[in-house]
Amino acid sequence: MENQQDILIEQRGAAGVITINRPAALNALNLNVLRGMWDALQSWKDDPAIKAVVLTGAGHKAFCAGGDLKHFHGAGQAYKRGEADLMHPVSFFSLEYSLNTLIYHYPKPIVALMNGITMGGGYGLAGNSSIRVACEETLFAMPETKIGFFPDVGAVSHLVKAPSHIGRYLAMTGNTLPGGDMVSAGLADYLVKKESFESILQDISAGQTDIVKIIQSYSVTISSSDQFLSLSEFCDAHFRFTDAQTILSSLGKESSEQAVGLLVELRSRSPLSVLVALAHYNRGMDDDFDTIIERDYQLCARFIQGDDLYEGIRALLIDKDKSPRWQHDSIESVPESDVDVCFVPCVPPLASVAL
């Protein structure tokens, strides 16, 4: 086994196995992980000995909780101070989104074993894999509006396919779904018991060619949970609308604890992030993956130029006061032009970036 410190890369029989090896950091992505995964996938793409790739995370808590935000904060602040150009902090996302694209279009099966927390950039790896396997300990979210960002890594291409407008709710709120509900929402393909992951890996390594049949043999038959059915009904009522004011108004007319609580949650998020997430989702309903990931890249560069992303990371992870001071006071106070400019490209296209 080759140990590149933060990532373990192994050929096990017919399987190429990639393990993110940062359990103390909930397997958060850094440049070492992204580069190691990119290099491994490129080397295996035309290797006839590798029939499939398996992605997993070390430890018991997480597949991957997302990007290493503290590291990014330092690079972004250097740009904000004028000590580096824009492409310095953007380069992390260039590699990440290029990796997401490679995974999405990979010519061999990629099986993501989501053995715990799978959020943000972690879902960029798992969600874009061809076979997405959740377990009872999987916990999904695209929590970016909580930190002044937006749901990126191509996730919108999957969120728009969720039933009952649940994807719009998830994009705007950043709230979580458990593994079984991920399957019901179409954000994962199979639910298995976590203890089956090693057996699945062994069967793939043994060279069995029908990967889907392997996974199905371990899958747990599920029906949508009461929680998911309730959420579906709730989202059908309030998130079928495409504009923020109508959504907020709809929530405000309902006196249930769920509606009142969610309204408070939405208003605690970055107002600009909520509106950009909504606009990105709405546009993504008619777009393919490559269009969406390119938009992610351009939006990312705009947010790096702004203020809310740094403030969100500060409040959550650096000072930990959990009291972000967003650029706008409320969703209603965000000028439409502030949202529109985020969608104007400001860096060269992702496909043109040399990695």
* CATH code of the domain containing 47: 3.90.226.10
pLDDT at residue 53, rounded to an integer: 98
Total count of domains within the chain: 1
In angstroms, rounded to a whole number, what is the distance separating the alpha carbons of residues 349 and 8? 31
Query: What string of pLDDT tens digits covers the 355 residues of the chain?
Result: 344 589 999 999 999 999 999 999 999 999 999 999 999 999 999 999 999 999 999 999 999 999 988 888 888 999 999 999 999 999 999 999 999 999 999 999 999 999 999 999 999 999 999 999 999 999 999 999 999 999 999 999 999 999 999 999 999 999 999 999 999 999 999 999 999 999 999 999 999 889 999 999 999 987 778 999 999 999 999 999 999 999 999 999 999 999 999 999 999 999 999 999 999 999 999 999 999 999 999 999 999 999 999 999 999 999 999 999 999 999 999 999 999 999 999 999 999 988 8
**CA 177, 319, 265: angle at the middle one, nearest 5?**
35
Cα diameter, the chain = 60
Name 351's Cβ contacts closer than 8 Å, sequence gap at least 6: 294
DSSP, collapsed to helix, strand or coil, labels residue 78 as: helix
- DSSP secondary structure of 2-15: EE-SSEEEEEETTE
What angle, rounded to 10 degrees, do the helices at 197-205 and 211-218 form?
160
pLDDT at residue 1, rounded to an integer: 39
The amino acid at residue 285 is M
In angstroms, rounded to a whole number, what is the distance separating the alpha carbons of residues 138 and 219? 14
In angstroms, rounded to a whole number, what is the distance separating the alpha carbons of residues 6 and 34? 10
- Find out whether 15 and 205 touch, Cβ atoms under 8 Å: yes
Host domain of residue 214: 2-352
pLDDT at residue 224, rounded to an integer: 79
Name 42's Cβ contacts closer than 8 Å, sequence gap at least 6: 102
Torsion sign, CA atoms 70, 124, 196, 116: positive
C-alpha closest to that of 187 among 202, 207, 166: 166
Q: How far is CA 231 from the centre of its chain?
A: 20
DSSP strands (E only) in 131-290: 131-134, 139-141, 177-178, 190-191
Tokens 């996974």 belong to residue: 215
Beta strands at 2-3 and 177-178: parallel, antiparallel or unpaired: unpaired
Active site residues: 67, 121, 144, 152
In angstroms, rounded to a whole number, what is the distance separating the alpha carbons of residues 167 and 177? 11
- Find out whether 7 and 33 touch, Cβ atoms under 8 Å: yes
pLDDT at residue 3, rounded to an integer: 44
DSSP, collapsed to helix, strand or coil, labels residue 247 as: helix
CA dihedral 25, 31, 37, 38 (to 10 degrees): 160
- Find out whether 19 and 56 touch, Cβ atoms under 8 Å: yes
Phi and psi at residue 14, to the nearest 5°? -85, 0
Model pTM score: 0.96
Phi and psi at residue 138, to the nearest 5°? -70, 135
If DSSP states are collapsed to H, E and C, what string results for 200-226? Answer: HHHHHHCCCCCHHHHHHHHECCCCCCH
pLDDT at residue 2, rounded to an integer: 43
In angstroms, rounded to a whole number, what is the distance separating the alpha carbons of residues 14 and 206? 6
